[in-house]
Structure 1
């Protein structure tokens, strides 16, 4: 799951960099992105990661699964260095090591257990959150630069977090009829689509690492809290300190990565694809990689 999400982040950022920058909450962006082979391949990797995460949520607590999704950022950064010639400062490399350490602590602290059902109140809360994200996205799409990357990435993280909350009890369904007839399935799809659109907009603002880090940071906490309070997530007896420390370290590393992130590519900002200052929509690194 971690590897699949890491590859997906990289490929989708390349596609977002090639697409004319949008400053409105336009679902048509997903259609334009889907016309690119790179984005479709990235989306396939994301679907694979999603399916693996869905299966993992059947037995594993959300604080582990969602924090592990954040570890995909490390794979993205590593591939960016190897394939696209990104340059990571020493502080960012140290934060990636800290991220790995935090995830390790969470793995050792997690206790497998099936989810409790999510009541009608929880389903209603997820529906209200979906509407709220749509409204917030309309205004956030007007933001530019690093601020736009962080805000839109954070909103995407909340959407994916809500999708994870819906997935945890949904994965416990034993029949096809129960699965297809469960409102959580459609809330999961709705939150995933909105999150995908918000993430695409965030990546267009310039910093892939900032967008993904903000997404992971904003998405980890709500899912972890809801899982522990309402879905029956459990921690190995005597390892509560390890879970808390691992979660805080992971979250701190992700937030730190967003602070050190620098734009790695430029975008087309007009229908003709020309970037102000005469720069092309693709960086030299993208062209050298053949992507």
Structure 2
């Protein structure tokens, strides 16, 4: 499990740092005006951020081969702690005491889970489960498109969209875990591959819409909750993820501490400089 844990931590570092690079790229372009987003996307820090995000997803995918879902998803949520630390250095964002405590909670929680987690038991589902995940990802994509216009300008629009985005990213993690293998031509006919693609695109579009609809903190906090809790339960109930004998309470405490810390750090969902 050691290598899988290393990949999970690498995913957190890559994804957390990517957010800061993308923020740097966005700051190089004057806000507003036609094509501002496109111009930002061509700035080298933004391109570097996309590359880091891609590397982070690759590391997450590799970690899911040998590490329980609850540990991987908590590590990915812990990317916000990396974003906070890098933002403090690069973007000169001042971290409050509560945020330093949240960073410590994320790190401590991950350490507890690393100690308590057992090896995932190789439960990668069957063909029916992979097909069901694909059907679910398509259904979620269609439902989210129908839901968005109906929300209008409700007060908690950003949180609702962020939560649905999180559920979509959770599907990505579950589908990635269900992959029967990582070699061709098997990947081309594996329904889980297409579930990863559909839910990844759905989650990304929903997150952008959520961030445009209101509070970054609300959207990111809802996303973190949506992408961590249910995949963790799915892994335990359906895929046989376990803890070491007698250490289940330690794993639960570590998971809770990591997610609570990530929620406190949710304002770094866009690495915005909100120095008081």
Which of 47, 51, 56 is residue 54 of structure 2 equivalent to?
47
Q: Corresponding residue for 2:167?
A: 158
Unaligned runs of 5+ in 2: 1-10
Q: 1:63 to 1:262 in 2, by over 3 A?
A: closer
Q: Offset at 1:133?
A: 3.9
**Farther off after superposition, 8-17 or 72-81:** 8-17
> Which secondary structure state, in structure 1, belongs to the residue aligned with residue 185 of structure 2?
helix
> Which secondary structure state, in structure 1, belongs to the residue aligned with residue 265 of structure 2?
helix
Q: 1:77 to 1:148 in 2, by over 3 A?
A: farther
Q: Offset at 1:211?
A: 4.1
Which of 93, 100, 104 is residue 86 of structure 1 equivalent to?
93
Q: Corresponding residue for 2:7?
A: none
Q: Is contact 1:150–1:211 with CA below 8 Å preserved after alignment?
A: yes
Q: Offset at 1:31?
A: 6.6
Which of 17, 21, 34 is residue 11 of structure 1 equivalent to?
21
The alignment's TM-score, normalised by the length of structure 1, stands at 0.76
The alignment's TM-score, normalised by the length of structure 2, stands at 0.79
> Which secondary structure state, in structure 2, belongs to the residue aligned with residue 59 of structure 1?
coil
Which of 176, 182, 189 is residue 184 of structure 2 equivalent to?
176
Q: Offset at 1:147?
A: 4.5
The RMSD of aligned alpha carbons is 3.5
Q: Offset at 1:39?
A: 2.8
Q: Take 2:58 and 2:23, find their aligned partners in 1: how far apart are those partners?
A: 21
- The within-5 A match list for 1:208-287 is 210-258=218-266, 265=272
Aligned residues: 261
Q: Corresponding residue for 2:6?
A: none
Q: Is contact 2:137–2:198 with CA below 8 Å preserved after alignment?
A: no
Q: Corresponding residue for 1:70?
A: 77
Q: Corresponding residue for 1:124?
A: 132
Q: Take 1:135 and 1:9, find their aligned partners in 2: how far apart are those partners?
A: 28
- The within-5 A match list for 1:192-211 is 192-204=200-212, 210-211=218-219
Q: Corresponding residue for 1:167?
A: 176
> Which secondary structure state, in structure 2, belongs to the residue aligned with residue 156 of structure 1?
helix
Q: Offset at 1:106?
A: 1.0
Q: Offset at 1:49?
A: 0.5
Q: Take 1:9 and 1:82, find their aligned partners in 2: how far apart are those partners?
A: 14
Q: Take 1:80 and 1:207, find their aligned partners in 2: how far apart are those partners?
A: 19
> Which secondary structure state, in structure 1, belongs to the residue aligned with residue 95 of structure 2?
coil
Q: 1:196 to 1:148 in 2, by over 3 A?
A: same
Unaligned runs of 5+ in 1: 22-27, 266-282, 286-291
